[in-house]
Amino acid sequence: MPMINPIPAEFIQSQVRLALLEDVGQQDLTADLIPLDSVAHAKLISREAGVLCGSDWLTTVFKSLDQSIEITWFKQDGDVLAANDTICEIKGSARHILTGERTALNFLQTLSATASITRQYADALSDLPVALLDTRKTLPGYRMAQKYAVRCGGGVNHRFGLFDAILIKENHIQAAGNIGAAVLMARNLHPGISIEVEVESLDELAQALAAQADIILLDNFSIEMLRQAVSTNQSQALLEASGGISLDNIRTIAETGVDRISVGALTKDIRALDLSLRFI
């Protein structure tokens, strides 16, 4: 599995502050029903199989509400969960646990969803020399968090945004005039930055190779076109397959010999992992 670099604590804290403001506002009206001195012991369980991600977000939610809350983790980010596994136990103020419950679970369920689907795709490619990449199709405000979840699931991050790599797409090419002109302009303006070009045909592939692009994204190529692209490329550039990728076809795509496969579904088409927090 790739190295899972941690997310800066200040970033998580900023996300949690906004999420609590959104959910709690100035006061949790329902929690007022609970006596101030009431202490609770809660257990968080997974109701289905998956991969855990988001433990630091859950901890930060509860600690933001009450530093005295105790959390004992039995699973770590990246761990595989089975149905009915106990993920952690939480002890402390019943009021504060109830106030933070939904916000904490929203983070954990969403990030675990991305980690879980990523693991499914990664497992399908585990014995093949191809990298599984995410895209920029993330939930607004969750870019860094979801890309962390991809790493927890066994994937690799594509560029984080528009600031750390160049990806020349069809509209860029049209605006610049042609592929060669776009690549030349990018290289002159941003020397030393990786240049990737999205192509939609074998003719455009030839143009991108002639322009000496570092990476070429093969958009919605058929299996036969992917094979031809690999043969034409002769390892001149890294080849990335993208578009229409699913669990049903990703292995066949990988077997064509491409170097990378990017999958928007890892962060876009997700279903929250079913988790439950219950007092015991």
DSSP 129: S
Active-site entry in 198, 204, 240, 259: 198
Active-site entry in 22, 32, 48, 102: 102
Active-site entry in 23, 66, 89, 219: 219
The encoded tokens of residue 252 equal 């066949």
Burial environment of residue 134 by CB neighbours within 10 A (0 to 12, 13 to 18, 19 or more): buried
Give the Cα separation of 92 and 214 in Å (integer): 54
Q: Is 56 a catalytic residue?
A: no
Q: Is 147 a catalytic residue?
A: no
Q: Is 271 a catalytic residue?
A: no
Range list of β-strands (E), 101-173: 131-133, 166-168
Query: 41 - beta bridge partners?
Result: 91
Active-site entry in 137, 159, 227, 251: 137
Q: How many residues does the chain have?
A: 280
Nearest to residue 94, comparing CAs of 160, 38, 55, 151? 38
By the 8 A CB rule, do 226 and 216 touch? no
Give the Cα separation of 137 and 243 in Å (integer): 12
**SS3 state of residue 9:** helix
Active-site entry in 169, 187, 227, 268: 169
Q: Is 198 a catalytic residue?
A: yes
How far is residue 235 from each of residues 104, 219, 258, 259, measured CA to CA in Å?
Answer: 46, 18, 10, 9
By the 8 A CB rule, do 223 and 116 touch? no
Q: Is 151 a catalytic residue?
A: no
Compute CA 104 distance to the chain's CA centroid, rounded to the nearest angstrom.
18
What letters, b where the CB count within 10 A reaches 16 and e where it falls short, cover 263-276?
Answer: bbbbbeebeebebe
Active site residue ranges: 102, 137, 169, 198, 219
